[in-house]
Amino acid sequence: MRSVFLAAALLLAGCGQADRTAEPAPASAATTAAVPDTAATVARYDGYGDMRFGMDEAAFAAAWGGALRGAAQPGSSCFYKTPTWVKHPAEFAFMFEGGRFVRYDVGTPKEIAPGGGRVGMDAAQIRALYGERVTSQPHKYVAGASYLRVIAPQGESALVFETDAQGRVTRWRMGVPPQVDYVEGCG
């Protein structure tokens, strides 16, 4: 009798499991903004995918394993590299300074930030996701807009969301200080 109950319990427990071979149902934009699929992101608090902050260019290139555009200009120690699939560098770019990977910038809702934030969310959604770790500062160039800064759980890096005057996230960046706080990028 005990084995019948055990078998029934296992069967019922399996009923609640999703079929991992099935394609997920497409989400509407509103659903995606409200409940991000953080499992789908390769953005990390310590880097992006297999690339970690602090890697030199050679190690970064080996970890990336694909073609990248961009190189340091003579006399400059800060520059961006972009994957070849990026149409506009404002969509997605990796920052290097002093020969090291220090930050990445995202201006598209296709990428999900560590912790679930993304372009298109409003400030209240960002605060709900990141809680007390969010601090706010006025935007340097846009009246009524702000920077929402989130300290990573380990405290060695930060995530910065830029909002417009209506409080919507227009872009975000992840990196190590001080580079993550450069408002003009390599400017």
Distance of alpha carbon 55 from alpha carbon 59, whole angstroms: 6
Look at residue 18 and tell me if it is in a domain: no
Q: Give the pLDDT confidence of 97-111 residue by residue, as tens digits.
A: 999 999 999 999 999
Look at residue 16 and tell me if it is in a domain: no
- Alpha-helical (H) ranges within the chain are 2-15, 29-34, 57-64, 123-130
Q: Give the pLDDT confidence of 74-130 residue by residue, as tens digits.
A: 888 999 999 999 998 899 999 999 999 999 999 999 999 999 999 999 999 999 999
Could you give the number of structural domains in the chain? 1
Look at residue 117 and tell me if it is in a domain: yes
The residue range of the domain holding 114 is 29-181
Q: Which residue has the tokens 């200009």?
A: 73
Look at residue 124 and tell me if it is in a domain: yes
Domain at 108, CATH number? 2.60.460
Q: N- to C-terminal Cα distance for the chain?
A: 73
CA 87 to chain centre: 19
Look at residue 159 and tell me if it is in a domain: yes
